[in-house]
Structure formats: structure tokens, C-alpha cells
Copies of this chain bind each other. A is one copy, B any other.
Amino acid sequence: MTSAPKLSDQLCFAAYSFTHALNRAYRPLLEPLGLTYPQYLVMLVLWEADGQTVKEIGERLKLDSGTLTPLLKRLETIGYLTRRRGRQDERQVIIHLTDEGRALSEKAAEVPVALGCAMGAEWGEIAELREHLLTLRDRLADAGCAVGEPED
């Protein structure tokens, strides 16, 4: 039979549409800060540790330079960070927060609170779900899984 898979059965679609709903929920919260959601993620990474290379940021967020380079240039234009070539290794570009970029974390503190409210979920529940997703993500990333046709 091998009937077509059903949309409603798919974890993948659930994750896909949940992510888009999150993005839409973040938008009005981040707009006053002048940030998109991916830009907000980069700022989170920098608020945790300033002075990282593009590569380090990319490893943290699982993004490559094709995505990060133009994004970082926009954040530089806004004035939240600076991009400088490394001194001892000129291949690297090191990202530093400006005072304005650092100051932004104060305003951003309200964002996750508002999001938690919008989801109306408990901390334990959120934490469990988060671990679950990260576990599956890493399995997908490691696996590649080769996808050979299984012997029946």
C-alpha cells in the first residue's frame, strides 16, 4: 500500500509550524529593539561572551558564514557591534559589542518573560521539551543516517 504519509502524523511539521509561530511571536517583541530573531540569537551569544569569531558564533548557532556575514554586517550598520580582523590570525573576523549593543541586553531581558507568558507553560515542562528537541537534533546531525533502504 505505502499510502502517502499524513501531515498530521508528522513531528516534522509540528516542529516546522511551531518554529514559525515562535518567529511571529518574537517579531513584535524584537521590533522595538531593531532585531530579527536570528539577530537576537547572535546578540544572545555575544552577551554571554564578547569577542568571538564568526566561526565560533556559527558553531554555537549552527549557522555558516553565508548566513552570518550579511547578518553581522547589518548589526554593525545599526551600531550594535564591530567586525575586526584578528591580529594574530588575519583570516578570522572578531565580533565585539559596542556600548549600545551591550546596553541592549537590559531591554532584551523582558523578551523571554513575555514569550514564556505567551506559551503559558511551566518551567519544568519547557525544560523537558527543550532537552528532548536538542537530543533529537543532535541525533539527526550526527546520523546523516545514510538512509539506505532498510531490508524490509
Chain B: CB-nearest residue to A43:
B4
Within 8 A of B (CB), among A103-133: 105-106, 108-115, 117-121, 126, 129-133
Which interface class (under 10, 10 to 19, 20 to 34, 35 or more) fits A? 35 or more
**Which of these, B18, B112, B139, contacts A15 with CB under 8 Å?**
B18
Q: How many copies does the complex hold?
A: 2
Q: Please state if B22 and A16 are interface contacts (CB–CB under 8 Å).
A: yes
Q: Please state if B145 and A117 are interface contacts (CB–CB under 8 Å).
A: yes
Stretch at the interface among A24-32, A70-78, A79-87: A24-32
Q: Please state if B21 and A19 are interface contacts (CB–CB under 8 Å).
A: no
Q: Chain B residues with Cβ under 8 A from A5's Cβ? A: 44, 108-109, 111-112
**Which of these, B18, B113, B140, contacts A118 with CB under 8 Å?**
B140
**Least Cβ–Cβ distance between A135 and chain B, in angstroms:** 9
Q: Chain B residues with Cβ under 8 A from A143's Cβ? A: 25, 118-120
- How many Å lie between the Cα of A57 and that of B51 in the bound state? 45
Within 8 A of B (CB), among A14-54: 14-22, 24-26, 28-29, 37, 41, 44-45, 47-48
Chain B: CB-nearest residue to A106:
B2
A10 located at the interface, meaning its Cβ lies under 8 Å from any Cβ of chain B in the complex? yes
Q: Please state if A14 and B133 are interface contacts (CB–CB under 8 Å).
A: yes
